[in-house]
Amino acid sequence: MYRTNPTDPEYRFQYARGLGNFGLIERCYTGNLDHAMEMLTQSQELQLGLAREFSEVKTFHFDLAYTDNSLAEVSLWLAAAHPDKRGEYVDLCRKSADSAGKIYGQFHRAGDANSVHGLAWRLVTLAALDQLENGPDTVRLAEEAASLLENRPGGALTLGRRELVTLALASSLQGDVKAAYAHLKDALDRGENTAERFEKLGQTGLRALATDTTFGPQFHELCRRVRQSLKSD
Protein backbone atom coordinates (compact mmCIF):
# COMPACT_ATOMS: atom_id res chain seq x y z
CA MET A 1 0.00 0.00 0.00
CA TYR A 2 2.90 2.36 0.65
CA ARG A 3 4.02 2.31 -2.99
CA THR A 4 0.56 3.32 -4.19
CA ASN A 5 0.06 5.85 -1.35
CA PRO A 6 3.57 7.14 -0.58
CA THR A 7 2.31 10.38 0.97
CA ASP A 8 -0.09 8.76 3.45
CA PRO A 9 1.55 9.05 6.90
CA GLU A 10 0.13 5.76 8.21
CA TYR A 11 1.41 3.81 5.20
CA ARG A 12 4.78 5.57 5.46
CA PHE A 13 4.96 4.68 9.13
CA GLN A 14 4.07 1.02 8.62
CA TYR A 15 6.52 0.69 5.72
CA ALA A 16 9.27 2.27 7.81
CA ARG A 17 8.52 -0.16 10.62
CA GLY A 18 8.61 -3.06 8.20
CA LEU A 19 12.03 -2.00 6.94
CA GLY A 20 13.20 -1.62 10.53
CA ASN A 21 11.97 -5.12 11.36
CA PHE A 22 13.89 -6.56 8.42
CA GLY A 23 16.94 -4.70 9.68
CA LEU A 24 16.36 -6.14 13.14
CA ILE A 25 16.27 -9.68 11.76
CA GLU A 26 19.51 -9.14 9.86
CA ARG A 27 21.18 -7.47 12.87
CA CYS A 28 20.12 -9.99 15.49
CA TYR A 29 19.69 -13.32 13.72
CA THR A 30 21.35 -13.63 10.31
CA GLY A 31 24.40 -11.42 10.74
CA ASN A 32 24.10 -9.86 7.28
CA LEU A 33 25.28 -6.44 8.43
CA ASP A 34 25.37 -4.82 5.00
CA HIS A 35 21.72 -5.69 4.45
CA ALA A 36 20.88 -4.61 8.01
CA MET A 37 22.54 -1.27 7.32
CA GLU A 38 20.59 -0.85 4.08
CA MET A 39 17.21 -1.64 5.65
CA LEU A 40 17.81 0.48 8.75
CA THR A 41 19.04 3.44 6.72
CA GLN A 42 15.91 3.39 4.55
CA SER A 43 13.75 3.11 7.66
CA GLN A 44 15.61 5.98 9.29
CA GLU A 45 15.07 8.27 6.29
CA LEU A 46 11.32 7.64 6.30
CA GLN A 47 11.05 8.01 10.06
CA LEU A 48 13.02 11.25 10.01
CA GLY A 49 10.61 12.70 7.48
CA LEU A 50 7.63 11.66 9.59
CA ALA A 51 9.13 13.04 12.80
CA ARG A 52 9.81 16.40 11.15
CA GLU A 53 6.40 16.61 9.48
CA PHE A 54 4.42 15.44 12.51
CA SER A 55 6.43 16.76 15.42
CA GLU A 56 3.57 16.19 17.85
CA VAL A 57 3.39 12.40 17.24
CA LYS A 58 5.49 10.78 19.95
CA THR A 59 5.58 7.32 18.34
CA PHE A 60 7.31 8.67 15.23
CA HIS A 61 10.12 10.11 17.36
CA PHE A 62 10.53 6.99 19.49
CA ASP A 63 10.71 4.73 16.45
CA LEU A 64 13.30 7.02 14.88
CA ALA A 65 15.42 6.97 18.05
CA TYR A 66 15.25 3.17 18.22
CA THR A 67 16.38 2.92 14.60
CA ASP A 68 19.18 5.41 15.32
CA ASN A 69 20.42 3.20 18.15
CA SER A 70 20.22 0.11 15.95
CA LEU A 71 22.22 1.84 13.22
CA ALA A 72 24.80 2.99 15.75
CA GLU A 73 25.25 -0.58 16.98
CA VAL A 74 25.58 -2.04 13.48
CA SER A 75 28.06 0.71 12.57
CA LEU A 76 30.12 -0.21 15.63
CA TRP A 77 30.25 -3.84 14.57
CA LEU A 78 31.25 -2.88 11.03
CA ALA A 79 33.95 -0.57 12.39
CA ALA A 80 35.36 -3.49 14.37
CA ALA A 81 35.18 -5.86 11.39
CA HIS A 82 36.61 -3.50 8.73
CA PRO A 83 39.64 -1.54 9.96
CA ASP A 84 40.14 -0.13 6.46
CA LYS A 85 36.74 1.61 6.68
CA ARG A 86 36.78 2.25 10.40
CA GLY A 87 36.68 6.04 10.16
CA GLU A 88 33.55 5.96 8.01
CA TYR A 89 31.73 3.59 10.34
CA VAL A 90 32.89 5.37 13.49
CA ASP A 91 31.48 8.65 12.17
CA LEU A 92 28.17 6.98 11.33
CA CYS A 93 28.05 5.34 14.76
CA ARG A 94 28.54 8.66 16.53
CA LYS A 95 26.08 10.48 14.30
CA SER A 96 23.35 7.89 14.83
CA ALA A 97 24.00 7.68 18.57
CA ASP A 98 23.87 11.47 18.89
CA SER A 99 20.53 11.54 17.07
CA ALA A 100 19.12 8.89 19.40
CA GLY A 101 20.45 10.76 22.41
CA LYS A 102 18.76 14.02 21.43
CA ILE A 103 15.38 12.37 21.02
CA TYR A 104 15.51 10.19 24.11
CA GLY A 105 17.03 13.05 26.10
CA GLN A 106 14.09 15.33 25.35
CA PHE A 107 11.61 12.73 26.53
CA HIS A 108 13.70 11.85 29.57
CA ARG A 109 13.82 15.47 30.68
CA ALA A 110 10.03 15.51 30.35
CA GLY A 111 9.82 12.60 32.79
CA ASP A 112 9.19 9.78 30.31
CA ALA A 113 10.43 6.51 31.87
CA ASN A 114 10.35 4.71 28.51
CA SER A 115 13.33 6.76 27.34
CA VAL A 116 15.70 5.35 30.00
CA HIS A 117 16.67 2.20 28.11
CA GLY A 118 17.24 4.10 24.87
CA LEU A 119 19.66 6.44 26.62
CA ALA A 120 21.46 3.55 28.33
CA TRP A 121 21.73 1.60 25.05
CA ARG A 122 23.22 4.66 23.37
CA LEU A 123 25.79 5.02 26.16
CA VAL A 124 26.99 1.41 26.05
CA THR A 125 27.37 1.64 22.27
CA LEU A 126 29.50 4.76 22.68
CA ALA A 127 31.44 3.07 25.49
CA ALA A 128 32.19 0.10 23.24
CA LEU A 129 33.22 2.48 20.46
CA ASP A 130 35.52 4.28 22.88
CA GLN A 131 37.02 0.93 23.87
CA LEU A 132 37.57 0.05 20.20
CA GLU A 133 39.46 3.31 19.73
CA ASN A 134 41.40 2.94 23.01
CA GLY A 135 39.75 6.08 24.35
CA PRO A 136 39.63 7.30 27.95
CA ASP A 137 35.85 7.30 28.51
CA THR A 138 34.83 3.64 28.27
CA VAL A 139 34.24 3.05 31.98
CA ARG A 140 32.62 6.44 32.58
CA LEU A 141 30.10 5.94 29.78
CA ALA A 142 29.35 2.40 30.95
CA GLU A 143 28.86 3.61 34.52
CA GLU A 144 26.40 6.24 33.33
CA ALA A 145 24.44 3.59 31.42
CA ALA A 146 24.31 1.27 34.43
CA SER A 147 23.23 4.13 36.70
CA LEU A 148 20.34 5.00 34.41
CA LEU A 149 19.05 1.43 34.44
CA GLU A 150 19.63 0.72 38.13
CA ASN A 151 18.04 3.98 39.27
CA ARG A 152 14.99 3.95 37.04
CA PRO A 153 11.58 3.65 38.73
CA GLY A 154 11.34 0.19 40.26
CA GLY A 155 15.10 -0.40 40.09
CA ALA A 156 17.02 -3.22 38.42
CA LEU A 157 14.48 -5.84 39.53
CA THR A 158 11.95 -4.47 37.04
CA LEU A 159 14.25 -4.63 34.02
CA GLY A 160 13.07 -6.57 30.99
CA ARG A 161 15.26 -8.81 28.87
CA ARG A 162 16.45 -6.06 26.51
CA GLU A 163 17.37 -3.83 29.44
CA LEU A 164 19.24 -6.75 31.05
CA VAL A 165 21.37 -7.20 27.92
CA THR A 166 22.22 -3.49 28.04
CA LEU A 167 23.09 -3.79 31.74
CA ALA A 168 25.29 -6.79 30.91
CA LEU A 169 27.10 -4.61 28.36
CA ALA A 170 27.57 -1.85 30.93
CA SER A 171 28.98 -4.35 33.43
CA SER A 172 31.35 -5.95 30.93
CA LEU A 173 32.62 -2.57 29.75
CA GLN A 174 33.39 -1.72 33.38
CA GLY A 175 35.29 -5.00 33.75
CA ASP A 176 32.74 -6.70 36.01
CA VAL A 177 32.40 -9.90 33.98
CA LYS A 178 30.65 -11.84 36.76
CA ALA A 179 27.79 -9.33 36.84
CA ALA A 180 27.77 -9.17 33.03
CA TYR A 181 27.31 -12.94 32.80
CA ALA A 182 24.56 -12.93 35.45
CA HIS A 183 22.60 -10.19 33.67
CA LEU A 184 22.98 -11.86 30.29
CA LYS A 185 21.90 -15.25 31.62
CA ASP A 186 18.89 -13.60 33.26
CA ALA A 187 17.96 -12.07 29.91
CA LEU A 188 18.24 -15.45 28.20
CA ASP A 189 16.15 -17.11 30.91
CA ARG A 190 13.45 -14.53 30.15
CA GLY A 191 13.42 -15.42 26.47
CA GLU A 192 16.05 -13.22 24.81
CA ASN A 193 17.39 -15.20 21.86
CA THR A 194 19.19 -12.83 19.49
CA ALA A 195 22.09 -15.23 18.94
CA GLU A 196 23.88 -13.33 16.18
CA ARG A 197 23.75 -10.14 18.20
CA PHE A 198 25.28 -11.85 21.24
CA GLU A 199 28.19 -13.08 19.17
CA LYS A 200 28.78 -9.65 17.66
CA LEU A 201 28.58 -8.10 21.12
CA GLY A 202 31.15 -10.67 22.24
CA GLN A 203 33.57 -9.00 19.85
CA THR A 204 32.72 -5.47 21.01
CA GLY A 205 30.78 -4.47 24.14
CA LEU A 206 30.90 -7.92 25.76
CA ARG A 207 34.52 -8.57 24.78
CA ALA A 208 35.74 -8.60 28.40
CA LEU A 209 33.15 -11.26 29.22
CA ALA A 210 33.75 -13.31 26.06
CA THR A 211 37.52 -13.45 26.62
CA ASP A 212 37.49 -14.01 30.39
CA THR A 213 39.10 -17.31 31.39
CA THR A 214 36.32 -18.17 33.86
CA PHE A 215 33.15 -16.73 32.39
CA GLY A 216 34.14 -16.67 28.71
CA PRO A 217 33.48 -20.40 28.15
CA GLN A 218 30.11 -20.02 29.89
CA PHE A 219 29.25 -17.06 27.66
CA HIS A 220 30.04 -19.06 24.51
CA GLU A 221 28.02 -21.99 25.83
CA LEU A 222 25.05 -19.66 26.29
CA CYS A 223 25.42 -18.48 22.70
CA ARG A 224 25.62 -22.09 21.50
CA ARG A 225 22.48 -23.02 23.40
CA VAL A 226 20.59 -20.07 21.96
CA ARG A 227 21.58 -20.99 18.42
CA GLN A 228 20.56 -24.59 19.06
CA SER A 229 17.18 -23.54 20.41
CA LEU A 230 16.53 -21.41 17.32
CA LYS A 231 17.31 -24.36 15.05
CA SER A 232 14.91 -26.61 16.93
CA ASP A 233 12.01 -24.13 16.94
Predicted pLDDT at 2: 47
- Of 170, 165, 103, the C-alpha closest to 143 is 170
Query: What's residue 5's pLDDT?
Result: 57
User: Is 86 a member of any domain?
Assistant: yes
Percentage of the chain exceeding pLDDT 90 = 73
Residue 195: its pLDDT value, please? 82
Domain membership flag for residue 131: no
Q: Identify whether 7 is part of a domain.
A: yes
Give me the pLDDT at residue 229, please.
81
- Counting the structural domains of the chain, the total is 1
Lowest mean pLDDT, pick from 43-52, 169-178, 190-199: 190-199
In a domain, 202, yes or no: no
Boundaries of domain holding 44: 1-111
- DSSP assignment of 135-198: -S-HHHHHHHHHHHHHTSTT-GGG--HHHHHHHHHHHHHTT-HHHHHHHHHHHHHTT---HHHH
The answer to the question of residue 185 being in a domain is: no
Instruction: State the Cα–Cα distance between residues 32 and 229, nearest whole angstrom.
Output: 20
For the chain, give the mean pLDDT.
92
- Residue range 5-29: mean pLDDT, rounded: 83
pLDDT in tens, 141-162: 999 999 999 998 777 678 999 9
Lowest-confidence range among 30-34, 51-55, 120-124, 179-183? 30-34
Q: Give the model's pLDDT for residue 22.
A: 86
Average pLDDT of the segment spanning 131-138 = 97
Residue 116 three-state SS? helix
Q: Is the pLDDT of residue 31 over 50?
A: yes
Average pLDDT over residues 25-38: 86
Looking at the chain, the whole-number percentage of residues with pLDDT higher than 70 is: 95
Helix 116-132 and helix 138-150: axis angle, to 10°?
160
Give a yes or no: residue 230 inside a domain.
Answer: no
